[in-house]
Amino acid sequence: MYIALSVLDGFAAEQWTTAMSSRRDRERRRHRGLPTWRLVRYADDFVIMVHGTREHVEELRGQVSEVLAGVGLVLSPAKTRIVHLADGFDFLGFRIVWMRKRGTDKWHVYTFIADKPVQTLKRKIKALTQKLSHLDYKIALIRINQILRGWANYFKHAVAKHTMARLHTFVWWRMIHWVMHRRRMKWKAVRRWLRTPQGRWEDIELDGIRLFHLGKVPITRYRYRGNSIPTPWPDALTGPIPTA
């Protein structure tokens, strides 16, 4: 599948290098009423960003369908959508939307965490902290921390600070309720367990394993690499479109 889609990469690279590679070329096309576009692909998921009209997008979708048909592939009707960036779309777990910056008249493209990965994470945490679960505390915490660290490393470049803080609260309470049920603890006992003499709240630590604090993950937004991302098919940028 992934190798077959290199045909799509070749099609996009040829269009880009011959007609849209420079700012001047793109401005000239727009002045003539022609669209400019670029492909972004990861494995078998891809999005094509188009500067033009809906008619331009539909024409381009037909061209992409023809390219894929040459290697026996078709666009998925369930996943293929035409949307305006102001309405937003989900891609690789992110919610990408063009919107006005709060308190200003400037518009920017923002990358949020989509709803689906948040719900998936919650289901995983719930499965590990069920009241009737007799899973060892240490094993459960190690697994939860692995899930949280991996999730945070993937999404830490999005607008994610508030989402991660809310998710940490969710995980914290799941752990508290789980411990209270298994140890037959009351809330006052839990407060004594987690509160320091200085009145601060400690993170949960069981059997020497401390709960990973999702809300303290540093967020690095607007990390742009653009054309510096290496391609696994360098010849596709200059050579002819590969054929099956």
- Interval 93-105: pLDDT, tens: 999 999 998 889 9
- Interval 140-150: pLDDT, tens: 999 999 999 99
Mean of all residue pLDDT scores within the chain: 86
Sign of the four-CA dihedral 212, 214, 216, 219: positive
> Can you tell me the mean pLDDT for 114-126?
96
Please report, in angstroms and rounded to a whole number, the separation of the first and last CA atoms in the chain: 12
> Can you tell me the mean pLDDT for 15-21?
87
Residues in the chain, overall count = 244
Q: How wide is the angle at C-alpha 150 spanned by C-alphas 174 and 45, nearest 5°?
A: 115
Q: What is the pTM of this model?
A: 0.80
pLDDT higher than threshold 50 for residue 244: no
Reported confidence tier of residue 122, pLDDT bands at 50, 70, 90:
very high
pLDDT higher than threshold 50 for residue 243: no
pLDDT higher than threshold 80 for residue 154: yes
pLDDT of residue 236: 47
> Can you tell me the mean pLDDT for 37-44?
88
pLDDT higher than threshold 90 for residue 53: yes
> Can you tell me the mean pLDDT for 27-45?
91
Identify residue 60 by its one-letter amino acid code.
Answer: L
Helix (H) or strand (E) holding 48: strand 45-51
pLDDT higher than threshold 70 for residue 169: yes
Instruction: Give the 3-state secondary structure of residue 160.
Output: coil
pLDDT of residue 9: 87
- Interval 195-231: pLDDT, tens: 766 666 677 888 888 999 999 999 887 666 556 666 5
**Residues in contact with 3: Cβ distance below 8 Å, sequence separation at least 6, in sequence order:** none
pLDDT of residue 229: 60
pLDDT of residue 231: 59
> Can you tell me the mean pLDDT for 138-159?
94
pLDDT higher than threshold 60 for residue 28: yes
Distance, in Å, from the CA atom of 129 to the CA atom of 118, rounded to the nearest integer, reads: 17
pLDDT higher than threshold 60 for residue 14: yes
On whether the CB atoms of residues 159 and 112 are closer than 8 A, the answer is yes
